[in-house]
Chains A and B, each alone.
Chain A
Amino acid sequence: MEDDQEAGGEEYLFKVVLIGDSAVGKSNLLSRFARNEFDQHSKATIGVEFQTQAVEIDGKEIKAQIWDTAGQERFRAVTSAYYRGAVGALIVYDISRKTTFESVKRWIDELTTHCDTTVARMLVGNKCDLENIRDVSVEEGKEFAEQEGLFFMETSALDSTNVQTAFEIVIREIYNNVSRKILNSDSYKAELTVNRVSLVKNGNDKQSHLSCCSR
């Protein structure tokens, strides 16, 4: 349905889900990443919203489809369709509200029950522009992320800090996962093809390591 693909016939579409408590800024992280916008007056999300954004990794264009949904606790049980086919996740909390950080564990559990494949996961402490009312320290976030084996980054959808970087790290990790997996698993390949991800035929993965705020 789309234009002719470039030589090599690769087309990547990665589904990434945003999860986390209500009002931590999921929708604004999405609009900042996809449209470079921050909406002071955004509506509370109820159903499912998504945006697709192209990113270049190792000279290849990758489309990331970022999904966003309601954060209130009772919605967690509605959304098994929301997680289907996801290969990446940003688990978001608000650095100015401890309770949203305390929920992170439950969000990770939710993710684990829905997604069997290797999902690239990042813990995101959003609203880092609210330094004056910070309720969760950078160390707490980092330590928890290390413990759980997650990437970690503090972001501000309001002033754009780290938003692009956070998404790119997750997308690169997915790309690495995919490249690695394809070398030794036909079933994984089959699974991803269903999700409309065509894979690299001779992926030589450099296992790039990320510095700074990532793990």
Chain B
Amino acid sequence: MYGTQSKRDLSLEFQSQIPILRPSIHARRANLTVKFQDLYGFTVEGNVDDVNVLNEVREKVRKQGRVWWALEASKGANWYLQPSIAEGIALKSSLKFSSLANAITLKRLIRKGIPPVLRPKVWFSLSGAAKKKSTVPDSYYNDLTKAVEGKVTPATRQIDHDLPRTFPGHPWLDTPEGHATLRRVLVGYSFRDSDVGYCQGLNYVAALLLLVMKTEEDAFWMLAVLLENVLVNDCYTNNLSGCHVEQRVFKDLLTQKCPRIATHLEALEFDVSLVATEWFLCLFSKSLPSETTLRVWDVLFYEGAKVLFHVALAIFKMKEEELLITHHVGDVINILHKTTHHLFDPDELLTVAFDKIGSMTTNTISKQRKKQEPAVMAELDQRLRRLNSLKVDENEN
């Protein structure tokens, strides 16, 4: 159905066919920039060190797979999908001891990474997408895509502009079949939630979901659960107010967790939104290498939207010394862009994100969001008033 099968074959092919890259001594000496394909078929440009890191990551992924199989052997198949564990994080207090122990094991395990072959199953269940899908008739997605076929809206027009501009050059996403599949998911969602419609950035998120999930329909439900349950409300709606709120919360967290950086950046008049807007709207998919992004998403789907703050703070934290000697906003942006593009080792990032940044509860973050909401609303309101007053001036002239 929808040609997803051939897509799967294609992406599986990549994973088995890509040879381990062994850079020659000459390449090492020259420190050449090389182009290669990563696990998910993305072309990556990097130096020899990057290639080596990616090879190590591949090996670690294999090892992590063995850990999961061993646990499955001792705890039973699909132990991690039992509802009491899947919801374990949220319901810690009401759990039986054995379930609690399992939930803690699972949390640790997920932070170390879900093996790529298990991702579709684990994400679908732990994120709540399976539950969401089960509340509507089986034919929902099919009916939806059929019903909206051929309709033209501002959302569909924007989607059509963005299809060829979403991961261009990717061997499956950037084909007529890839475009058509991504289009159905995005257009379908734009009709499911007309407040969101389509927001730029979702194209990257949905594209990566398509590469991971087994079917187009599952990718659609992952997108739905992300926007409707996992992320903060109104991140993608018409004035991106939820995204504004996240930026402000992030700014406060940076002041708390990385005060030296925050003070320095304040002096440069650097606003975190210059880099973090893209991070939060694309969930890092446009900035980080694919496996690193997916590792962030592994945790995101189990622990919730606070994970985005952990990761964003970690990126700043990792470059603290370099950031402290910048003199200009542009230098800051350059350092952060360069850093994210080269974060080929997910563990390096996630270790900082969770061990060095320290814990932040979903509760505290919710409180901070509540605190920021009125300010964001006032700011958006003020902007509209300024724009309207300009219009009045023009009409009078």
Which A residues are closer than 8 A to B by beta carbons? 1, 13, 22-23, 41-44, 46-48, 50, 52, 65, 70, 72-75, 77-82, 84-85, 106, 109-110, 112-113, 194, 196
Known contacts A22-B161, A72-B158, A109-B391; A41 and B169 CB within 8 A of each other: yes
Q: Which of B95-103, B186-194, B273-281, B308-316 contacts A (4 or more CB under 8 A)?
A: B273-281
Interface assignment of B319: CB less than 8 Å from any CB of chain A: no
**When chains A and B are docked, how far (Å) is the Cα of A118 from the Cα of B120?**
54
Contact code string B151-177 (vs A, CB < 8 Å = 1, else 0): 000000010011011111100001000
Q: Is the CB of A77 within 8 A of B380?
A: yes
Q: A43-B168, A77-B380, A84-B271 are in contact. Are A48 and B240 (CB under 8 A)?
A: no
Tell me whether B203 is interfacial, beta carbon within 8 Å.
yes
Q: Nearest-CB distance from A82 to chain B (Å)? A: 7
Would you mind naming 10 contact pairs between A and B with Cβ atoms under 8 Å apart?
A22-B161, A42-B165, A46-B200, A47-B278, A47-B279, A73-B238, A75-B200, A84-B271, A85-B269, A196-B328
Point out the residues of chain B lying under 8 angstroms from A75, CB to CB: 200, 240
CB distance from B95 to the nearest CB of A (A): 40
> A80 contacts which chain B residues (CB < 8 A)?
271
Q: Is the CB of A44 within 8 A of B274?
A: no
Q: State whether A50 and B199 are in contact (beta carbons under 8 Å apart), knowing that A43-B168, A74-B240 are contacts in the complex.
A: no
* CB neighbours of B271 from chain A (8 A): 80-81, 84
246-295 of chain B: CB within 8 A of chain A? 269, 271, 273-275, 277-279, 281-282, 286
B330, CB-defined interface residue at 8 Å: yes
Given A80-B271, A84-B269, 19 other A-B contacts at CB below 8 A?
A: A1-B327, A22-B158, A41-B169, A42-B165, A44-B165, A44-B200, A44-B203, A46-B204, A46-B286, A48-B277, A48-B333, A72-B158, A73-B238, A74-B199, A77-B244, A78-B244, A78-B273, A109-B390, A196-B327
Docked complex: B339-359 residues within 8 A CB-CB of A: none
Given contacts A52-B330, A77-B380, contact A46 B158 (CB under 8 A): no
A13 partner residues in chain B, CB cutoff 8 A: 328
B243 CB within 8 Å of chain A:
yes
Residues of B within 8 A of A106 (CB): 387
- Chain A residues with CB under 8 Å of B278's CB are 46-48
Q: Output the nearest chain B residue to A82 by Cβ-Cβ distance.
A: B274
Interface of A is mostly: mixed
Q: In the docked arrangement, what's the CA distance between A77 and B200, Å?
A: 14
Given A41-B168, A44-B203, A81-B274, A112 and B158 contact (CB-CB distance below 8 Å): no
Q: How far is the CB of B331 from chain A (nearest CB, A)?
A: 8
- Report the bound CA distance from A62 to B238 in whole Å: 39
CA distance A196 to B162 in the complex (A): 36
A-B pairs under 8 A by CB, number: 95
Determine the residue in chain A with the shortest Cβ distance to B167.
Answer: A43
> Which residues of B from 355 to 397 have beta carbons under 8 Å from A?
380, 383, 386-387, 390-391
Report the minimal beta-carbon distance from B307 to chain A, rounded to whole angstroms: 19
Give A81 to B295 CA distance when docked, in angstroms. 30
Residues in B53-109 with C-beta less than 8 Å from chain A = none
Is residue B239 contacting chain A, with contact meaning CB distance below 8 A?
Answer: yes
Instruction: Point out the residue from A47, A50, A113, A194 that lies within 8 Å of B386, measured CB to CB.
Output: A113
Docked Cα-Cα span, A69 to B203, in Å, equals 16
Which of B281, B328, B391 contacts A46, CB < 8 Å?
B281
**Is B113 part of the binding interface, using a Cβ–Cβ cutoff of 8 Å?**
no
Instruction: Determine if B201 is an interface residue (Cβ-Cβ < 8 Å).
Output: yes
Q: Nearest chain-A residue to B174 (Cβ)?
A: A41
Candidates A43, A48, A65, A112; contact of B286 at CB < 8 Å? A43
Which single residue of chain A is at the shortest CB-CB distance from B199? A74
A13 nearest in chain B by CB position? B328
- B380 → A minimal CB distance (Å): 6
Bound complex: CA A14 to CA B269 (Å): 16
Q: What chain A residues lie within 8 Å of B238 (beta carbons)? A: 73-74
Q: A41-B169, A77-B383, A109-B390 are in contact. Are A46 and B201 (CB under 8 A)?
A: yes
